[in-house]
Amino acid sequence: MTSRSLLYPMSFALLLPAAAISCAGDSPTTPESAQLVAAPEFARMPGEPGSASSRLFYKVKLAPVPGSDARGMVHIDVVGGYLRVRIHANGLEAGQHIPQHIHASSACSPASPPVINLDAGLTLTGVEAPGTGLAFPQASEDGIINYEATRSLADLRAAWNTAFGTSLQTDAELLALLDLDDRNIHEHLPLAPTFPPVNCGPMERVN
């Protein structure tokens, strides 16, 4: 099992408005552009309003398995040619990188193999590196994860073709294989080699 050090990307760059501060010494020639407010970063995320008419929304309620108190919410959207996954969860192992995946079956039990690592790159489990260790989000000292990752469907489709020898031509073909309506999501204890699950929930289509 490989463990490659990745810098976890910041999800948001906080852009502060360029506030025009009025001082007694201001020159009357201060350019108007200095008072323009920068557009918020989220407006440039893939799938911004108007960039695509069709979108898929999913939610998952992560309920704890017996003996665990790890709970959370997952929001997934497929829009504008991108897959985006957001997870907000607590009760996880403090300070640890938490393995989390989309798993193959629609039900949490019996256990099914992971399909997509919910890591920094939304990689295909077992066929794209690293998919382990530091690639996963790190829980805070309070055991909280607030995770977001985005990957283009074109990139994911190319990875799928490389990994499985397919020749998927369109995002629709990829989405048919991903079959997000019939999957579940787990988070795990960071304990190799078994990585016991701490919570689980089935994916529910919202729209």
Give the pairing of strands 55-64 and 71-79: antiparallel
Going residue by residue from 56 to 95, which x/- string records binding to Cu ion, judged by CB under 5 A? Answer: ----------------------------------------
Residue with tokens 């193999």: 113
Which among 33-41, 54-62, 108-116, 124-132 is the span making contact with Cu ion, rule CB under 5 A? Answer: 108-116
- The reply on whether position 114 binds Cu ion by CB under 5 A is yes
Binds Cu ion by CB under 5 A, chosen from 186, 190, 200, 202: 186
**Contact in structure between 56 and 119 (CB atoms under 8 Å):** no
> Concatenated DSSP letters for 57-77?
EEEEEEEEPTT---EEEEEEE
Residue 162: how many other CB atoms lie within 10 Å: 12
Nearer to Cu ion, 175 or 200 (CB): 200
- The reply on whether position 101 binds Cu ion by CB under 5 A is yes
Angstrom distance (rounded) from CA 80 to CA 152? 9
- The reply on whether position 157 binds Cu ion by CB under 5 A is no
Q: What are the residues binding Cu ion (CB under 5 A)?
A: 101, 114, 186
